[in-house]
Amino acid sequence: MTTGTISAKNLKQALQSIHIPPVYYFLVIFTVVGVTLDQLFASGNILSNPVIMTNILVRSVALGIVAVGQSFVMIGAAIDLSVAFTISLTAVLASQIMQGDPARVPMAILIVLGIGIVIGVTNGVIVTKLKVNPFIATLGTGLIIKGILNGTFANYKGSVPRSFQAFGYDSFGPIPYSILALVIVVIIGWFILSRTKFGAHLYGVGGSREIGRLSGLRTARIVTGAFIISSLTAVLSGLFIVSRLGSGAPWVGPDGVYDLESVAATVIGGTALAGGRGGVFGTLAGVLMFGVIDTVFNQLGVDTYLKTVLRGAIIILAVASYSIRSGREAA
């Protein structure tokens, strides 16, 4: 057997061993298709117009940040449906506390971060100690927050100072601060999951909570930690949104459908609904795919309701591809 034959065989085996999640294929496909449709039926400047490209990224910031936290929870075999209401609570309280005064910004940020930790701990305790299904537990927590918001705040409340709005609008050179924040959150999420004991234990608990417990892992503390991370990323998303709006309102989270869309982006990104598998880079690709789809639909003037139908179909297609691929790998 020649060296060339051996090298070719080794190369083939190496290529076959590379596992590329389908989300990256979808991201490339939708980008190519979107650019083609834009060239044929719209302005034809998605790629050449830096404003459009920046808008795609900025539009992905709020969802991207909260989806990173959702990834932690779902890797731990749970789900967090309270994030949308946590975003609303953050936006309302932050603007109400700041009242346009730059001196109040640090206090407002510390208070909403503290509330985020309380919400995360509450979700974790309900799930791990009271043994309530995560879907029901976090939905209940979210509804409690919604009731408090609707009963206390009927409209836009407070305002944020211009200096704080820099987070949503200003840039460091050509790169918006908000995009830098998303990149930092993704890198921190990747580091925690892949380079810390907590990350390794979270994958173990997500794969099998019982086996994790028998192995000596503090499963309750690990799952609660994942919920705290999820709530903190929701708080950060809320701060970004209020920096863009200038004032908080109780509906900004639910109207953005950040709960369901963060779950969808996470699943599309390769995180298993059953837990124990996934990562933040795949989640980010899923978020960017949503951003590309929304931008292309807007460029083409697609009807809002049709856009929702098409997004739903795309989610089903992407998740189905994972199920089929997972079945083949198991076989």
Q: Which of 96-110, 175-189, 229-243, 287-301 has the lowest mean pLDDT?
A: 287-301
The tokens for 252 are 């900004």
Please choose, from the candidates 217, 241, 85, the residue with its C-alpha nearest in 3D space to the C-alpha of residue 160. Answer: 241
Q: What is the pLDDT of residues 83-102, one digit of tens each?
A: 999 999 999 999 999 999 99
Domain-embedded: residue 12: no
Q: What is the pLDDT of residues 129-188, one digit of tens each?
A: 999 999 999 999 999 999 999 888 777 778 999 999 999 889 888 888 999 999 999 999
How far apart are alpha carbons 43 and 252 in whole angstroms? 30
Provide the domain count of the chain: 1
Domain-embedded: residue 267: yes
Domain-embedded: residue 293: yes
Domain-embedded: residue 4: no
The tokens for 239 are 């701060």
Domain-embedded: residue 14: no
> What string of DSSP letters covers 89-134?
HHHHHHHHHHTT-GGGHHHHHHHHHHHHHHHHHHHHHHHHTS---H
Q: Which residue range is the domain that position 119 belongs to?
A: 22-37+49-326
Q: What is the pLDDT of residues 6-27, one digit of tens each?
A: 566 665 555 444 456 677 777 7
Q: Domain with 259 in it: what CATH number?
A: 1.10.3470
Domain-embedded: residue 7: no
Domain-embedded: residue 8: no
The tokens for 310 are 């098409």
Mean pLDDT of the chain: 85
Domain-embedded: residue 238: yes
pLDDT at site 32: 80
